[in-house]
Amino acid sequence: MNEFEAFLNEHLPTQNSFHPHYEEALQNMLLAGGKRFRPQLLLGVVRSFNALMIPSALHAAYAIELLHTYSLIHDDLPSMDDADLRRGHPTLHKRFDEVTAVLVGDALNTYAFEVLSNAPFSDAVRVKLIRELSHNGGLHGMVLGQAIDCHFENQPLSLDQVKVLHINKTAKLIAASLKMGAIIVDKKELGDTLYEFGIKLGLLFQIQDDILDVTQSSEVAGKTTNNDGDKNSFVTLMGLEASMREANTLADELLSALETFDSALSQTLLPLLTNYINRHKE
């Protein structure tokens, strides 16, 4: 078990009440695993410049994972994607019920900021981290992207509009994870550079997800696939071959950008990102 998983297990949300399954439901999707991609990005940046800050940075990494997990729970709801499988397990509304899934998502969303507000940083750093996560995970980012995605089902968008959709829905939280790592180690200029890198990385991540949705089974992907036929996905708009070419171009650009980073940062991020940057080729 790595340091992040150990921290997560020690800080699982709890609420001792007479509700028959609320606490189990709160922990269910967190314990189901997942790639932990966003926390790894934040911790990778911190480790590159000040490994002694990793114990403190784990609080921020956990906050990101809490917010991301809430978004997956809500994304899977019958009113949105109506998915049966997530992280290789039944979705919360399937395992329990829809009301439980909605409320657990709400709880994890707000708990993310409780965790971040109690993180062992200065007040100034905590405020910056809270601002970054709330801005990119809320009405200016992920929630906006989800609103566009749901509203325009069965209504084809232009390629530029699809990019706006997915920059908000997917890329901004990935970009924020990198920038939050830079905030923790007090590297403001680097944070801006990493944010832009993260936006491009997030777009690649979404194109890859769209590719895998039509090329992998639900069992292999660990989530419901072939579920984007009515959505404005890159594959729906561009086709599989053009999406593969776009993914290859973005992957090459990201690998080139990595070479321009500080050597310690590049060496830390490269092993993590190589696996993800090339996952559409598997």
What torsion do the CA atoms of 49, 55, 60, 65 make, to the nearest 10 degrees?
110
CA atoms within 13 A on the CB side of 124: 3
pLDDT at residue 1, rounded to an integer: 54
Residue 85, domain CATH: 1.10.600.10
- Residue 90: its H or E element: strand 89-90
Amino acid letter, residue 210:
D
Q: Write out the residue range of the structural domain in which residue 212 sits.
A: 3-281
187-194's contacts with Cβ under 8 Å and 24+ in sequence apart are 187/49, 190/262, 190/265, 194/45
Residues of the chain short of pLDDT 50, as ranges, are none
Cβ contacts of 281 within 8 Å, gap of 6 or more = 248
pLDDT at residue 219, rounded to an integer: 65
pLDDT at residue 90, rounded to an integer: 94
What's the domain count of the chain? 1
- Residue 85: its H or E element: strand 85-86
- Global pTM reads 0.94
Q: With CA atoms as reference, report the closest residue to 92 among 109, 76, 115.
A: 76
